[in-house]
Chain A
């Protein structure tokens, strides 16, 4: 395979990384809000949180992407397809991240919050200073896992016309008749990116050791 082809694949893989990274970040923000809503004593909030999760977890990502891609123009909202792609990925990963974080939030011992109550931390301060860091630590391994899943799932955004890594490999394979080399190279690139994510995750996890060996 020529160097030129490989360079095209690498460029497409940057695109894959960008779309995934943006979606995971947005998903983390939405997921945090959704998990807080699911756990809220307010019934309306907790029902909407859980409905969000069951919808975006229950409908295949491919269907979600196609739905968003067709729905937005039908509603008169014209957005570039990359926005539709990121919206779909973000909402889907938000649902999974919300579930991971919910588990994290629920395992914060009640006593830690009572201690916070006693020194006067408001509920928002408790969320920010006590619950969020502890929940994040507990959820971190599954969040890294989710990041890897989303990176791989980002190959689906080709259905809305995004030429990311998988699609680029397909296009090049069709024009060069060298599918085995191209898909092997694409696979290798995915593997390297995911190694980097896993490595970054473990570095990040180490900063959450809090004195444990």
Chain B
């Protein structure tokens, strides 16, 4: 067995007194696309953010390619916090794409994509920009390199955000509802970029309400409900009959039933 790209072990997350993740165990296989689906408020974003250590787990551990992220198993079973440099090193294997794009408004597309190469990795400006251009080409935005985020459509901004993450050559890409804040006619261009990435063999974890995408592109689907992982499986296993009643209800309530029928 190869090491999973991400292993989540006994993950518990509380915000104050409210427990939103009640002990999650999940493996993300290498080179596959895994989708997290579930009703809104079920804890999908929190789980994804814990995988990136943007949110600290209350208990439990996260392993990235076998290495603990944030906390390591301690002597008395109690996790111990790792030094910041170690956290940064492990986290550098992960790229993250946010629902709200989160591009830096004072930098052009090229500036956004080349920033970390220059500032963090000390790559010369000309070389960093060359490498950034390669990524912008990959997402089809080479000719928009000099545009600021405010001059780009939502779909273009999200593709720049993907290029920004890719520029650091991560092994794993996390997407938190990457198309949810886009007009419907702009979701396609982002999903196409993600499809191409998947075809390249990138390990991806995608929180999405795009059930059509999940069914067509994901090898693994995890259904989260109320802070619990109710089931994981292939699209056929998840969407095929018989369905878990909560999943059926979720598909009825939240989603385009037709898309799930395509499977």
Contact = CB atoms under 8 A, between A and B. Distances in A.
Contact of A211 (B104, B151, B161): B151
Given A115-B96, A118-B94, A119-B164, A210 B148 contact: yes
Interface string B110-127: 000001100111000000
A98 to B, nearest CB: 22
Nearest to B174: A118
Given A118-B94, A120-B116, A129-B115, A211 B168 contact: no
A143 B93 CA distance: 41
Contacts of A129: 104, 115, 119
B250 interface: no
Interface string B24-61: 00000000000000000000000000001010000000
B213 interface: no
Interface residues of B, number: 30
A125 B118 CA distance: 11
A105 to B, nearest CB: 14
Interface in B126-166: 147-151, 161, 164-165
B95 interface: yes
B98 A115 contact: yes
A119 B91 CA distance: 9
Q: Determine which residue in A118, A130, A212 has the highest number of CB atoms from chain B within 10 A of its CB, and name it.
A: A118
Interface string A92-121: 000000000000000001011011111111
Main secondary structure of the interface of A (DSSP, over half): helix
A137 interface: yes
Contacts of A115: 96, 98, 102-104, 161, 164
A120 B93 CA distance: 10
Given A109-B102, A112-B102, A134-B106, A210 B150 contact: yes
A194 B137 CA distance: 48
Contacts of B201: none
Given A119-B115, A120-B116, A211 B148 contact: yes
A158 to B, nearest CB: 41
A22 B54 CA distance: 42
Interface of A: 109, 111-112, 114-122, 125, 129-130, 133-134, 137, 208, 210-212
25 contacts: A109-B100, A111-B100, A112-B102, A114-B54, A114-B96, A114-B98, A114-B102, A115-B98, A115-B103, A115-B161, A117-B54, A118-B52, A118-B94, A118-B95, A119-B115, A119-B116, A119-B164, A120-B168, A121-B116, A133-B106, A134-B105, A137-B106, A211-B148, A211-B150, A211-B151
